[in-house]
């Protein structure tokens, strides 16, 4: 309502010292169901209104009132003169009042008391509605946080049990891989010592060349050595640069076969080490403390994720556009887990796409590392986008999430622990995930 009109009413009806009262904190002003013939104006303090339900067992808070609010509106203007709620002073409060004996001031000009106070009634009801809506929204947010925390705790307990079993399996995989590597290298040294260069090339470097680079290098080798395209491309993966004369090349097919042995051992060792970190991360699913002691390059962690997903990305054209990046303080395992989850989901989503593509770019802006992962898969509808990071949501029956919908929930938890964020945007042409990670300064502050 108009402030001048409101102020006129306050000055006219609520400025008399004899109709002012100070209420101590905790005191009841109105009692639900009791007589009340007063309309109170709150000069200062905080008060709360409660409604006792019909069963008499539960009392519900229905409104809050502070300076400028009115109390007793319903009982006074409905002329029941019976309080509809119990009002208690939350803090020491000063109130001014009028009652049923108060006469209208300037009756001929402004009309009867009810007419003069109609704007106040409407204004007070509107104010209460807005405040109730705000409190309802805040309560819903608090309940959602509590529900999410309970979910994460339950998942953490489940994950701890699974992680214990996986640890045993991963430990066997790691130790047996190392033993298998030693045996294979010993046997090859006895049978084909000349193959060691190709085995070492795969064992030390793995496959660290992109699809486009493979095609380019393959064309060069095809022309230079007169070999077929498929073999040339396999050799390109084995020896991405340099003159092949320094390597044993009695049979290109055999050379590739030995390089594959080295590469597979390399990937098995990498996967075993990464699995240990993944298990550790899953065990922390319901926890908020995250170990971030490592200093690392984000681009390097993305490359490690791509290596782990080689088999999933065989038919996908991956384009990585890395920028020069500052070192960040984080867990390498957790960063790899972030990229692996998003890229794996993208690969799965493009199963029916004729020419699947994933574009990954990194840059730095305003003390944040920004990573964008885009794919040309089908659009993610708005309803799915709203739920995509919830712990219990999945659109898949298998894969990394095992149908539990844990993948992107873990991603969001990890990023939140670092003070980062993730957002998704999707249309018919592209689906884009944007990830932000804070860059720390020399004093350890983000």
Domain residue ranges in the chain: 3-102, 151-288, 290-446
Q: Which of 13-22, 170-179, 184-193, 199-208 has the lowest average pLDDT? A: 199-208
Q: What is the pLDDT of residue 25?
A: 95
What's the average model confidence in pLDDT over 295-308?
87
Confidence check: pLDDT of 33 > 50: yes
Confidence check: pLDDT of 147 > 70: no
Looking at per-residue confidence, does 141 or 294 come out higher? 294
Cα(385)–Cα(164) distance, integer angstroms: 33
Q: Which of 176-190, 266-280, 354-368 has the lowest average pLDDT? A: 266-280
Could you tell me if 291 and 332 are in contact, meaning their C-beta atoms sit under 8 angstroms apart? no
Could you tell me if 347 and 313 are in contact, meaning their C-beta atoms sit under 8 angstroms apart? yes
What confidence category does residue 402 fall into, taking pLDDT thresholds of 50, 70 and 90? Answer: very low
What's the average model confidence in pLDDT over 117-132?
75
What CATH code would you report for 290-446?
Answer: 3.30.565.10
The half-sphere exposure of 244 on its side-chain side, counting CA atoms within 13 A, is 25
Q: Which of 55-69, 152-166, 427-441 has the lowest average pLDDT? A: 152-166
Same fold, 3-102 and 290-446: no
Could you tell me if 95 and 55 are in contact, meaning their C-beta atoms sit under 8 angstroms apart? no
Cα(65)–Cα(47) distance, integer angstroms: 5
CATH 2.60.120.10 is held by the domain 3-102: yes
Quote the distance between the C-alpha of residue 386 and its chain's center: 11
What confidence category does residue 91 fall into, taking pLDDT thresholds of 50, 70 and 90? Answer: very high
Confidence check: pLDDT of 375 > 90: yes
Nearest CA to 313 out of 273, 360, 268 is that of 360
In the block, tokens 């170990």 appear at: 291
36: three-class secondary structure by DSSP: coil
What are the structure tokens assigned to 123, written together? Answer: 């204004």
Contacts for 65 with CB less than 8 Å, ≥ 6 apart: 42, 46, 47, 48, 49, 71, 87
446: three-class secondary structure by DSSP: coil
């Amino acid at each position: 309502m108009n402030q001048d009109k409101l102020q006129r009413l306050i000055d006219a009806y609520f400025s008399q010292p004899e109709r002012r009262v100070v209420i101590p904190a905790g005191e009841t002003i109105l009692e639900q169901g009791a007589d009340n013939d007063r309309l109170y104006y709150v000069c200062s303090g905080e008060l709360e209104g409660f409604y006792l339900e019909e069963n008499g067992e539960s009392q519900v808070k229905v409104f809050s009132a502070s300076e400028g609010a009115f109390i007793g509106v319903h009982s006074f203007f409905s002329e029941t003169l019976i309080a509809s709620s119990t009002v208690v002073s939350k803090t020491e409060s000063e109130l001014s009042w009028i009652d049923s004996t108060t006469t209208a001031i300037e009756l001929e000009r402004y009309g009867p008391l009810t007419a003069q106070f109609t704007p106040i009634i409407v204004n007070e009801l509107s104010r209460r509605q807005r405040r109730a809506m705000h409190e309802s929204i805040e309560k819903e947010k608090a309940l959602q946080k509590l529900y999410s925390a309970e979910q994460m705790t339950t998942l953490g307990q489940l994950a701890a049990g699974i992680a214990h079993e996986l640890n045993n399996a991963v430990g066997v995989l790691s130790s047996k891989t190392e033993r298998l590597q030693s045996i294979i290298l010993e046997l090859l040294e006895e049978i084909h010592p000349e193959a060691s260069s190709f085995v070492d090339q795969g064992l030390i470097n793995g496959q660290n060349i992109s699809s486009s680079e493979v095609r380019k290098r393959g064309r060069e080798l095809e022309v230079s050595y007169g070999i077929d395209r498929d073999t040339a491309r396999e050799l390109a993966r084995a020896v991405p640069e340099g003159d092949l004369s320094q390597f044993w090349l009695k049979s290109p097919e055999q050379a590739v076969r030995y390089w594959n042995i080295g590469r597979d051992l390399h990937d098995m060792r990498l996967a075993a080490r990464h699995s240990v970190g993944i298990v550790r991360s899953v065990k922390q699913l319901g926890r908020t403390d995250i170990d971030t002691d490592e200093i690392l390059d984000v681009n390097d962690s993305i490359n490690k994720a791509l290596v782990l997903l080689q088999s999933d990305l065989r038919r996908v054209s991956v384009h990585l556009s890395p920028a020069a990046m500052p070192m960040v303080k984080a867990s390498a395992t957790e960063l790899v887990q972030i990229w692996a989850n998003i890229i794996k989901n993208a690969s799965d989503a493009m199963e029916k796409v004729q020419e699947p593509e994933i574009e990954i770019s990194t840059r730095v802006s305003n003390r944040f590392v920004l990573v964008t992962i885009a794919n040309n898969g089908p659009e993610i509808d708005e309803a799915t986008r709203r739920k995509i990071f919830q712990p219990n949501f999945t659109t898949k029956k298998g894969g990394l999430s095992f149908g539990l919908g844990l993948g992107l929930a873990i991603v969001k938890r990890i990023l939140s622990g670092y003070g980062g964020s993730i957002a998704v945007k999707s249309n018919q042409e592209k689906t884009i995930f944007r990830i932000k990670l804070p860059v720390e300064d020399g004093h350890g502050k983000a």
